[in-house]
């Protein structure tokens, strides 16, 4: 078990600083500060994909990955909540296969809430959210079968994906579905880029709910994240300069640089 004061004091410093910045930005956004977010094409494509499914009269597929109940799954459910609100408005059929029993129970509530908030609770079909299997490839074959049988029009894959990502994306491609995917697994991003129409990369995944909901708390948090990244980039630049000064043995600066390097070294 790792502890902050055992080996990784720098983590404590950076984490606490970033947390303070994020909370500060959330509070200022809640007080009405106008915030700007750049355009994210993958997220703009969500409405286009739902519209296509409506025109074709075919279902919309949402896959929250095979990970357990975590921050990543919660973020996926937040995006799916937005998609479900749109499908509730347009009367699309949705399919949401789930691999984790805890995610399944929360997903059912989130999607039901989305239909109720749109004023169409009668359109919610409890069978549209299905627990298939918690085994990776049993789940993969189940989802691939659903895609083929139901001839889905749009597929949204957000969450934790592993080797099964390409099975979903290629099967969706075979039935001609418009596909939007996003994951935090850097090893799976290339597969999604190769097989999907739009891919959300890196921290865009965590920006998604703020982007689509324009909720002040989330917008503030997103801007706070950017400040956090700025802090990390600044530390990278300062660290590189300090390491260079130590290597060059500049008399007046090398001791200060050494102290700085020591402070941020993970032992």
Partner 1 sequence: MLEPIVRFFSAQPPAVLPYYVAGAVVFSVLLIFVLINLPSRMRKPLIALVTFLAGLFYAAEFFLPIDKTTQKNVLTDYLVPASKLGSLLGGMTLTLGILSLLRVHGRNIARLRAGWYNSLALLVAMVAMVVFGLMDSYSANATAKKVFNVLFEGMLINMDATMFSLIAFYIVSASYRAFRIRSIEATILMITAFLVMLGQVPVGNALTAWLPTEGWLASLRVENIKQWILSQVNAAALRAIAFGLGVGGLAISLRIWLSLERGAYFEKEI
Binding flag, residue 121, partner 1 (CB under 8 A): no
| Helix (DSSP H) and strand (DSSP E) numbers for the chain | 10, 6
Binding flag, residue 117, partner 1 (CB under 8 A): yes
With tokens 């995944």, the residue in question is 205
Find the part of the chain contacting partner 1 (CB under 8 A) among 37-45, 59-67, 196-204, 258-266: 196-204
Binding flag, residue 209, partner 1 (CB under 8 A): yes
Ranges within 164-193 binding partner 1 (CB under 8 A): 164, 166-167, 169-170, 173, 184, 186, 189, 191, 193
Report which of 63, 208, 50 is spatially closest to residue 147, judged by C-alpha positions. 63
Decide whether 54 or 218 has the Cβ nearer to partner 1. 218
Ranges within 3-22 binding partner 1 (CB under 8 A): 3-6, 12, 15, 18-19, 22
Binding flag, residue 237, partner 1 (CB under 8 A): no
Q: Which one of 44, 47, 55, 137 is in contact with partner 1 (CB under 8 A)?
A: 137
Whole-angstrom distance, CA of residue 250 vs CA of residue 254: 5
Q: Which one of 28, 217, 238, 246 is in contact with partner 1 (CB under 8 A)?
A: 217
Whole-angstrom distance, CA of residue 254 vs CA of residue 186: 37
Phi and psi at residue 97, to the nearest 5°: -75, 140
Binding flag, residue 115, partner 1 (CB under 8 A): no
Q: Which one of 41, 44, 71, 237 is in contact with partner 1 (CB under 8 A)?
A: 71
86-118 as b/e: b if 16+ CB within 10 A: bbbeeebbbbbbbbbeebbebbbebbeebbeeb
CB-neighbour burial class of residue 266 (10 A; exposed 0-12, middle 13-18, buried 19+): exposed
For residue 65, the minimal CB distance to partner 1 (Å) is 15
Ranges within 25-44 binding partner 1 (CB under 8 A): 26, 30
* Edge-to-edge strand list for the sheet holding 198-200: 129-131, 94-98, 60-65, 154-160, 178-183, 198-200
Phi and psi at residue 239, to the nearest 5°: -60, -40
Total binding residues toward partner 1, as defined by CB under 8 A: 79
What value, to the nearest 5°, has the Cα angle with vertex 162 and ends 156 and 163? 105
What mask, x for binding partner 1 by CB under 8 A, covers residues 140 to 159? xx-------x----------
Q: Which one of 49, 222, 242, 260 is in contact with partner 1 (CB under 8 A)?
A: 222
For residue 246, the minimal CB distance to partner 1 (Å) is 22
For residue 194, the minimal CB distance to partner 1 (Å) is 4
Find the part of the chain contacting partner 1 (CB under 8 A) among 36-44, 49-57, 121-129, 251-259: 121-129
């Amino acid at each position: 078990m790792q502890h902050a004061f055992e080996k990784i004091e720098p983590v404590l410093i950076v984490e606490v600083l970033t947390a303070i910045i994020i909370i500060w930005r959330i509070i200022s956004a809640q007080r009405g500060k106008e915030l700007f977010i750049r355009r994210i094409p993958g997220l703009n494509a969500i409405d286009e994909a739902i519209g296509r499914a409506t025109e074709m009269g075919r279902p919309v597929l949402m896959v929250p990955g095979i990970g357990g109940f975590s921050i990543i799954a919660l973020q996926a459910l937040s995006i799916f909540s937005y998609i479900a609100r749109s499908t509730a408005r347009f009367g699309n059929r949705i399919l949401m296969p789930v691999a984790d029993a805890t995610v399944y129970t929360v997903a059912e509530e989130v999607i039901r809430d989305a239909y109720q908030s749109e004023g169409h609770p009668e359109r919610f079909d409890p069978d549209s959210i299905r627990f298939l299997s918690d085994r990776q490839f049993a789940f993969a074959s189940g989802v691939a079968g659903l895609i083929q049988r139901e001839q889905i029009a749009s597929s949204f894959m957000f969450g934790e994906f592993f080797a099964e990502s390409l099975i979903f994306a290629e099967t969706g491609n075979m039935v001609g579905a418009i596909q939007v995917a996003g994951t935090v697994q850097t090893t799976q991003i290339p597969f999604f880029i190769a097989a999907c129409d739009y891919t959300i990369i890196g921290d865009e995944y965590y920006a998604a709910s703020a982007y689509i909901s324009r909720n002040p708390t989330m917008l503030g948090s997103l801007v706070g994240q950017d400040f956090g990244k700025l802090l990390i980039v600044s530390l990278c630049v300062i660290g590189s300069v300090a390491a260079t000064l130590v290597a060059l043995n500049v008399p007046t600066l090398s001791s200060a640089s050494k102290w700085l390097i020591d402070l941020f070294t993970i032992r």
